[in-house]
Amino acid sequence: LLVSNWCSFDLSVVDIVKGKEIARLPMGAYPRGLAVSPDSRMAYVAIMGSDDVVKVNLMTLRTEGSFTVGENPRHIVISPDGRYLYVSLNGPGEVVKVDLATDSVVATAHTGDEDRSLAIAADGRSLYVVNYQSNTITKLRASDLQMLQTVGTGVHPIGITYDAATGNVWVAVYSGQILVLADRRP
């Protein structure tokens, strides 16, 4: 289990069988979202107090450097094939696509104000972004980050997940609402 520790600027690695922390890795100011590669060998941690994502080797439990993605990286999802990382940039209201073979940004999309959480469809074709201050979610085509649809959510959507079994997108809104949106558009 990996836990990003906002206040202590580090990442905890927890052995869930023993219920104990087995490592603590320094990250930088305000580690936030994280994603694990499909083969469980690497983790990527958004450092919200910087412009960077830190790479963590889960086999050695050591950091392997970082790469720049843009202002205030907040949340991360990885493509099902493990080739791309998608990062929400809270400050500019953007999402970036990172090619993990080169650790470089290959596409950028402005989706709204204060992008927060992300979700990716099980087939990796669609990406869903919560736009906190815009009170919307945006659906992007993952291949090139072209905006496909924006839908109003109510005040301050905060969390999102994709249900692979139904194709529904679940959105948590600060007011206490839970929205379930059926994604029927390609």
Q: Beta-carbon neighbour count of residue 177 at 10 Å? A: 12
**What pLDDT does 154 receive?**
87
User: For residues 159 and 119, what is the distance between their CA atoms, to the nearest angstrom?
Assistant: 9
- Indicate the pLDDT class of residue 186, thresholds 50, 70 and 90: low
**What pLDDT does 184 receive?**
73
Place of tokens 């907040």: 74
Domain spans of the chain, in order of start: 1-14+21-68, 71-186
Return all residues near 136 (Cβ < 8 A) that are at least 6 apart.
112, 150, 151, 152, 153, 157
- C-beta separation of 109 from 147 below 8 A: yes
User: For residues 63 and 55, what is the distance between their CA atoms, to the nearest angstrom?
Assistant: 6
Span 63-78, average pLDDT: 97
User: For residues 117 and 3, what is the distance between their CA atoms, to the nearest angstrom?
Assistant: 16
Q: Is the pLDDT of residue 29 over 70?
A: yes
Q: Is 147 exposed, middle or buried (0-12, 13-18, 19+ CB in 10 A)?
A: middle
User: What's the CATH fold of domain 71-186?
Assistant: Methylamine Dehydrogenase; Chain H (2.130.10)
Predicted model pTM: 0.95
What would the pLDDT profile of 116-127 be if each residue is shown by its tens digit?
999 999 999 999
What would the pLDDT profile of 127-181 be if each residue is shown by its tens digit?
999 999 999 999 999 999 999 999 999 899 999 999 999 999 999 999 899 999 9
Mean pLDDT, the chain, integer = 95
User: For residues 184 and 67, what is the distance between their CA atoms, to the nearest angstrom?
Assistant: 35
181 vs 69, more confident: 69
**What pLDDT does 31 receive?**
97
Q: In this structure, are strands 84-89 and 94-99 parallel, antiparallel, or unpaired?
A: antiparallel
- C-beta separation of 47 from 65 below 8 A: no
Q: Beta-carbon neighbour count of residue 3 at 10 Å? A: 14
